[in-house]
Amino acid sequence: MVIDYLEAAEIYKQLRHMPVAKMIESTIHQRIWGRIASEQDNAAIMACFAAIEGDHLEIGTLHGGTAILVALIKKELKLDGKVVCIDPLDGYYAGTKFHNDTDPITSVPISADVLYDNIGRFDLLDRIEIVQKKSDPFPLKGRRFASAYIDGDHWGNVPTIDWQNVNRITDRYVIFDNCDKEHPSVLDACLSAAFTSEWTTAFRQGITCVFERF
């Protein structure tokens, strides 16, 4: 399905940033070592909801493409806030049957060296903070975020644990990636989010699901 973003923007104002998000995403595709994880416009939609004042949290960062996208859209729109990424950077799904030291699509390693190289290419070393750990147990204490993106381990109870950790410290939006029938554990986490007090489903399209604190 093709999304009419002009029509959708009338319903949800954050999508007014879609043109600039898509423009930045195109630049990232051209310059990144590896790839930006983007399908069904999930990265650009996420960036629209992260385009608010305050810090942004990302769980699962691959080669840094989506973190770079958020940092650049904040910079373009003159919004305050850093991007904080949680990822062990020890390959693709380490410890599971899907493990691979490199990205199966690009064959580029998933490592801190690649990530920092990409952040440097976009001159964002002062805007993106890397926490090289797993998301559970949750490694950040005493910090709050305006928005958060859950795109880490998609299996078992991890997506639900990530939601439980993130919703307590996020003030506006939590965005899930891969909320589809191919990832039932993510669907379960989204269902849990939908029934969490103080949160409502703000946007649902394709593989992206956004929850907003009210």
At a CB cut-off of 8 Å and minimum separation 6, what does 86 contact?
A: 57, 58, 59, 60, 61, 131, 133, 134, 135, 139, 140, 152
The answer on pLDDT for 2 being more than 70 is no
Residues 6 or more apart whose CB falls under 8 angstroms from that of 188 comprise 159, 160
Cβ-proximal residues to 206 (8 Å cutoff; 6+ apart), any chain: 1, 3, 40, 41, 42, 180
Q: Tell me what pLDDT residue 1 has.
A: 39
pTM of the model: 0.93
* pLDDT tens-digit map of 53-83: 999 999 999 999 999 999 999 999 999 999 9
Gap between the Cα atoms of 185 and 170, Å rounded: 21
Sequence spans of domains, the chain: 5-213
Amino acid at site 100:
N
List 208's β-bridge partners, or say none: 205
**Residue 70: phi, psi to the nearest 5?**
-65, -45
pLDDT digits (tens, 9 = 90+) for 91-110: 887 777 778 899 999 999 99
Is the pLDDT at 125 greater than 50? The verdict is yes
pLDDT exceeds 80 at position 142: yes
φ, ψ dihedrals at 175, nearest 5°: -110, 130
Q: How many C-beta atoms lie closer than 10 Å to residue 4's C-beta?
A: 9
Rounded Cα distance between 83 and 124, Å, is 10
- Please give the distance of CA 11 from its chain centroid, rounded to a whole number: 22
Percent of the chain's residues with pLDDT above 90: 89
CATH number of 5-213: 3.40.50.150
